[in-house]
Amino acid sequence: MLQAHPSVLADLVERYESLHAKTGSAAVDPALRQQLDDVTYTLCVITGTRSLEQALASARRRARTVRDVRGGQASTAVPSSSTKASSSHSLTTPSTAMAG
């Protein structure tokens, strides 16, 4: 089974958290709401889950437990409470988002 590269998962979690923070008000731009819906859907699909909570937990777990291929050292790719915004982020295509 193909799995998303941990850096892709980390980017998606970061993007979700950023968009979620921006959509907290009652008057939300429909385009912003659509972006949040899109990243939520992508997280669910890419992690093979059916709920946002499961998708976030799975993505964070995989991003945190990445092993450095060269040294076998565990590294942290994204903290679970990351709220850093990414202004020029775009979703990647499946051919670049998946690792074997």
DSSP assignments along 12-54, one per residue: HHHHHHHHHHHT-SSS--HHHHHHHHHHHHHHHHHHT-SSHHH
Q: What is the pTM of this model?
A: 0.64
Q: Are 4 and 99 in contact (CB under 8 A)?
A: yes
12-69 pLDDT per residue, tens: 999 999 999 998 877 889 999 999 999 999 999 999 999 999 999 999 999 987 643 3
Domain boundaries, the chain: 6-70
User: Phi then psi for 26, rounded to 5 degrees?
Assistant: -70, -40
Q: In one letter, which amino acid is 65?
A: T
CB atoms within 10 A of CB 97: 18
